[in-house]
Structures are given as structure tokens and as C-alpha cells.
Chain A
Amino acid sequence: MKLVIRNGRVVDAKNKIDKKADILIENGKIVKIGESSQFRPGDVTRSTMTINATGKVVTPGLIDMHTHLREPGREDEETIASGTRAAAQGGFTSICCMPNTQPVVDSVSGVKFILATASQEGVVNVYPIGSITKGQKGEELAEIGKMRIAGIVAISDDGKPVMNTQTMRRALEYAKMFNLPVISHCEDLNLSVGGVMNEGFTSTILGLKGIPRQAEEIMVARDIALAELTGGKLHLAHITTRRSVELICQAKKKRIRVTCETAPHYFSLSEEDVQGYNTNTKTNPPLRTKDDIKALCEGLADGTIDCIASDHAPHLDVEKDLEYNMAPFGIIGLETMLSLILTNLVRKKILSLNQAIAKLTVNPANILGLEKGSLSIGADADLTIIDLNLERKIGNEFTSQSKNSPFIGMELKGFPVATIVAGKVVMKDGKLV
């Protein structure tokens, strides 16, 4: 089975490629990249499937290291089948799923369930993240080593930060043996209690309880200190504030092993968007201020922020169509992430296309230790084809089972038009195959 992608602008941050080329794929692997003239007569035959990528960008398959697929337990919100299709629709070929399912993925059986279901029903690669502690309770360590052997790529208690500093220390120390990143959702729960949006002028006039930025920053500082203490591999999830960026920048200068991500809503929206009480803006950590957006953009540009992840968090309309206080935190992101990056970062020249693609490919792959994220010869043929000039208004039709998006109605420019996983086309011309 052969596939050739012709005449696209090939952007591969790892191999520092940015040129017009054809890519030949055979048996799920990349076998050749070059100009048409470099191809030999036998390379492309009549039976070779061809995708014309003229005027398009061809990149390594995109990686989203922070999603919630809700299965097992909340299959009404999302399943591995629907979530991976939403990923394919959004140009992602590999996604990581957080363990806050019901039951929590805190043991080998949970990991095996995710992997087995993904291989049967999924359309993109799924890498499970195991919990740090049993039941995400923040007390006893989960069987991290056994889960590692079963296939997890990181550990995290995600929405439930490990408040006990000693437990977090042990986790970083223990996971270090397996070179497994510990992903931390930074939130001091005592400080954030009852809050539903960023604390500040907007929360005051809306009469909503605020979450101070310090709830995040204190834990960023704590976890960096613990990474320094243990030599563990720390990855900070969804960073949102200026000081968080500064703390991480300093830590990196000191060569502490810390990496981080932010999510598109944090650089695309601010707390002011909460006005009107649209519950699709309710997310944790909350949308911050315009100054934080500026700091995130600076951190993205200078490399302090390593990657961008969606924190795709599906919730049903019936759960979200409530009073702001009662609606759950979280917004979906797989299908809008790339367009938001292209519209709000690349088009505004905050990131070059190369930098943006690195944050969606080679960088998350390096953090997670995945053999993904490049177009090296012999690599898995995971690719994404992007039309930088395609403009569209985000409607309320999503492949995800949920549609809790604050971006509905927004005009974006630059969309994925094809997603290829191990040489198999799973999305083409913007439609799932």
C-alpha cells in the first residue's frame, strides 16, 4: 500500500525541513521525501494513491498531550471512538488522555482498557496517562511502574492537584526511575475554593467568586522546587499567568527539569469574555487577563512554553446550560486548536509556522518520549495537511459528542484538511473518511 503526497510545503521542525517536496509512504512508514525529480520511476506507480497538496502545508502528525476522552464512565459526553474522531477532524494523529475517568485509570487494567478500546474503535494513536495516586485521592501512590510497563506515557492527577507536598515529592522521585513525566495541574485548592473565574475587576462586577492567579503560581513554584529537589521530570499543564511563565523561565535557566504547556483558550480569550455569563467560558484554570495573554505569547515565542495542548474537556449541553456557578469547568478544543494557533499566533507573527508546528509535534513527543512528531525516513507515516488560507466561521457542529466551545461564531483562518495515521487517511478534505 503506497501513498504519495505531492507538492506540499513540508514543515518538519525536528529535521529542520521547510521546503516544497513530495512524500512517499509505504506500509505505514515514510520512505522518501524530496522533489518530484528525485523520485525514481518505480517509486510511484499507477496503484499509488496520490494526494495533491499544492498550496498546502504538510507537517508531522500533530500531537495533543492533554485531552479527556471520558471513557470509561461518561460515554454520554465522549468516547474513545468519538474523541479520536474529533482529534482526526482537528488534524491530530496522537493524543494523550487524562486518567480522570470513572473509574480512574490508576491501574494496569485501566490502561489496558484504554489501549484495547483505542486499537479497536479509535482512529488515531491514543497514549494513556495514569494517575499519580490511587483514585486521584492524593494519598497513596498508584502502581506507576506497572502502568508504565502497560503503556502509560506520563502520570497526572490532573483536575485534582496533589496538595500533599510530600506525596508530590515521592511521585517525582519515583517516576524519575521510569523517565516518566509527572504532569501537574497547578492549583492551590485552599486558595481557589469556590471560585469560578479569574479573580479581579471582572469577577467583582459580575458578582462571581474569583480564583486568584496565585492559586496557580504558588503550585508552579512548589512543583519547580520539588523538581529541583528530586531531579524528577516535571511537566506543568495549562499554564495561564505571567508569573507562571516567569517562574518556569527561571527554572529552565537553572536547568531544572521542567516543561510546560498552555491551551489555545488562554491566549485567545480573556476574563472579559466571561461577561454575559456564557458557561462555555468556564474552565479551570480560568481565563485570565490581557496582560497574561501577552506573557503567554512571549513565553511561547521564547520557548519557555514548550507545547500547546487542548485540554479537550467535553460536557453535555444539559450540564453546561445552567447558572455559571453550577456549570462544570471545561471546554472542548480538539477541533479548534490548530485554527486558533494559526489565527492568533502564526498570523499575528507571534510564532513562525515552524515554531507553532514544533509545539504540536516534536516538543510533546520529546517530553513524552514518543517516537513521533517528525517526518524522518522510516518514521511512522503520521501526517497532517493544513490549508493556511481556508477561512471559516466556527459553527456548532462538532465531531466530538459535546459542543461546549466558546469559539462558536468566531471566524478563523487556517484549518487541517487531511489527517493521515500510519499511512492511512482518516480525514480528507475536512471530512472523516
Chain B
Amino acid sequence: MRLKHKDLLGLEYLDREEINLILETARPFKELFTRSVKKVPPLRGKTVVLLFYEPSTRTRISFELAAKRLSADVLNISASTSSVAKGESLIDTAKTLEAMKADFVVIRHSMAGAPQILARTIKASIINAGDGTHEHPTQGLLDMFTIWEKKGRLSGLKVAIVGDLLHSRVARSNIWGLNKMGAKVYVVGPATLIPPKIEEMGVKVYYDLDEVIGELDVINILRIQMERQKENLFPSLREYNEIFGITDERLKRAKKDLLVMHPGPMNRGIEISSSVADSPRSVITEQVTNGIAVRMAVLYLLAGGDSQGVKR
């Protein structure tokens, strides 16, 4: 089996089988990391461009490692040091990359829809590494991979996403993906940070985490950005922490095997307490490792690889 599209723009556009395929394919790649030589040849001779219009460390490095471990050549372009800073439009940048025969463009952009513009302009495979508040599909996939690995399944699990849903592309990708895989998704956060009509995506909205904490199998905690306070979306970080912060106290009523996740970077002491972040329930650092495996799977499959090729 193969992926149906040349691009990975969002989990909205994948079906259950495709998501399964990516997760299954990521598993052998992850096993590779335990070996002394972590590199395999499938993308030899291919060029992967990392086009980052927004600062990012973890996602960029994760994609870079993923591409390099597949033997691809990797090019880093960041907005501040390129012609983008001279006012070049996204479409012109895209055409330049096309002329350089890039096979993959991994794009991170502050505006929703930027990857779509690339995808319809050039032939290269476009991978969305986060576009505005739209989607961050590889994060959604790595979160699902992490859950699947720990719990052995996704279907029937109860997953809460907590925090600033309004500005979260991670949340949107998680919701699309988890719903397709049969999980039950709750979103919890201040009413001002819940996007309009999000319940139509098939989630339940709660303003009080304690109402659902006992049922949860997974809690995925989103980063709360300091600047949202200035937009009057909540009164203070202290108040946010008191009402929505995840602490040991709050988790007392949770299941013993609750998984605690966070896409990073964390604000310790605000959305998550240090002791929760470092507790045995936390899989936050494993998410990082899994991110590389999942991104290898995505690159490999978009390059035309199939599920047979990676079986040992």
C-alpha cells in the first residue's frame, strides 16, 4: 500500500488506512535508532529542502535528522537569512526551489494555507511542518504513534487536549487524526481559547478538566503563549495555571496509566508542573524520538516507498 497524494498537507486529507500505514512504517525506522549505524539508503540522491518561515528548533532538527538518516541531501532555508527577507513572495521562492529540482519541501509558515500554495505551484512533495493555526500533521502523527506504541491501540481511547486550542495547529491535526482512528477526543481550555464550532469536528468541549480527568487515557497539554494574555484572552498566567495547569494534585483522580504528553516547548509551572513533566507518566521526551521515526516514514512513503520495503 502507498499514500494517495504527493503531499502531506494535513491529517484532514488522509484516511484511516493511510494513517495506519505511516504508523506501521515508522516502527521499523524507530528500531533503527538502537543500532550503531542509524542510516539507511532509500532517499539517496534526493534533495529535501527545509523552508522555515518561523523559528523552530525541534521540528526542523527532527526533519533534518529524519532526512539524513534516509540518506537524503538536506538544505536549510530560513526566512531571516534568505531572499524571503528581501521581500520575495512565497510563490517565487517556490519556483526557485523547483528550478533547483528539490524533491521535497518541508515548510513551516506562520500563515495557514502556505503549504497549499506551494503544493499547487510546484511538483515537489510538500510536507507541512506547521502552517499558522491550521495543521501540523507530523506532530499529530507522532503523537498518535506515541499513544499507539504505549497503549497498543488508538480506537476507543479517551484523549484530552488541554489549553490554547484556538491558536493550536497541533490540536487540529490531533483531532482529525484521533477521530479517524476511532479515539474519543475532549478539548479543555478557557472559553476564549476554544475555536468556534470546534464541536463540529467531533469533539466534546469542557471548561473544567476535573469533570473528565478520571476517564482519560491520554492528556495532551498545549503550550500557552505569553502574548495571548495581552490580547485579553485570559487575565493572567497565574490564573491560567490555577484553573488549567496540570499538577500532581489534579492528576490524583486520573487513571494510573494515564499518558502525559506535550508537543513542546514547555512552560514549566504554567501549563504543566515540573513534577508532572518529569513523572513516569510523561512521554514527552519519547515524543521527540518518535518524531524522527514518523518523519522518516512520511518522507519514505511520499518518495513512493510502500509498506513492503521496510519490513525486515
Contact = CB atoms under 8 A, between A and B. Distances in A.
Interface of A: 199-201, 203-210, 212, 276-277, 318, 321-326
A209 B113 CA distance: 12
A395 to B, nearest CB: 19
A322 B169 contact: no
Interface stretch (B20-28, B196-204, B259-267): B196-204
A277 B111 CA distance: 11
A323 B111 contact: yes
Contacts of A208: 112-113, 132-134
B169 A207 contact: yes
Given A276-B116, A277-B113, A325-B132, A204 B91 contact: no
A200 B134 contact: no
A207 B135 contact: yes
Contact of A206 (B89, B112, B197): B112
B172 A205 contact: yes
B133 to A, nearest CB: 4
Which 10 A-B pairs have CB atoms at the shortest separation, nearest pair first?
Answer: A207-B134, A277-B113, A207-B112, A207-B133, A323-B111, A204-B195, A201-B197, A201-B200, A325-B111, A324-B113
B117 interface: yes
A71 B189 CA distance: 49
B116 A200 contact: no
Contacts of A201: 196-197, 200-201
Contacts of B216: none
Contacts of B117: 277, 323
Contacts of B201: 201, 204-205
Contact of B196 (A203, A276, A323, A324): A203
Contacts of B197: 200-201, 204
A206 to B, nearest CB: 6
B12 interface: yes
A206 B197 CA distance: 12
B243 to A, nearest CB: 23
Nearest to B200: A201
Contacts of B135: 207
Contacts of A204: 172, 195-198, 200-201
Nearest to A317: B91
B131 interface: yes
B89 A277 contact: no
Interface string B164-197: 0000010010000000000000000000000111
Contacts of A209: 133
A199 B90 contact: no
Interface string B68-112: 000000000000000000000111000000000000000001011
A208 B116 CA distance: 14
Contacts of B131: 207
Contacts of B114: 323
Main secondary structure of the interface of B (DSSP, over half): mixed
Nearest to B114: A323
B113 A323 contact: yes
B73 to A, nearest CB: 28
25 contacts: A200-B196, A200-B197, A201-B197, A204-B197, A204-B198, A204-B201, A205-B172, A206-B112, A206-B113, A207-B112, A207-B131, A207-B133, A207-B134, A207-B135, A208-B113, A208-B132, A210-B196, A276-B116, A323-B90, A323-B111, A323-B114, A324-B111, A324-B112, A325-B111, A326-B111
Contacts of B112: 206-208, 277, 323-325
A206 B134 contact: yes
B194 to A, nearest CB: 10
Contacts of B109: 323
- Which residue among A203, A210, A324, A326 has the maximum number of chain B CB atoms within 10 Å of its CB? A324
A364 B195 CA distance: 40
B140 to A, nearest CB: 13
A322 B114 CA distance: 8
A207 B90 CA distance: 19
B232 to A, nearest CB: 11
A120 to B, nearest CB: 36
A204 B175 CA distance: 12
Given A201-B197, A205-B172, 11 more contacts: A200-B196, A200-B197, A203-B195, A204-B198, A205-B12, A206-B134, A207-B172, A210-B196, A212-B196, A277-B116, A322-B90
A203 B112 CA distance: 10
B132 A207 contact: yes
Contacts of B169: 207
Contacts of B196: 199-201, 203-204, 210, 212
B75 to A, nearest CB: 22
Contacts of A207: 112-113, 131-135, 169, 172
A201 B194 CA distance: 12
A317 to B, nearest CB: 10
Nearest to A326: B111
Contacts of B200: 201, 204
Contacts of B132: 207-208, 325
A321 B134 contact: no
A270 B117 CA distance: 21
B108 to A, nearest CB: 13
A47 B109 CA distance: 67
B263 to A, nearest CB: 16
Interface in B184-235: 195-198, 200-201
A321 B195 contact: no
A319 to B, nearest CB: 10
Interface centre among B113, B133, B196 (most CB of A within 10 A): B113
Contacts of A322: 89-90
A315 to B, nearest CB: 14
A358 B134 CA distance: 44
B277 to A, nearest CB: 27
Contacts of A203: 195-196
Interface in B151-175: 169, 172
B133 A318 contact: no
A276 B115 CA distance: 10
Contacts of A212: 196
A391 B89 CA distance: 37
Contacts of A206: 112-113, 134
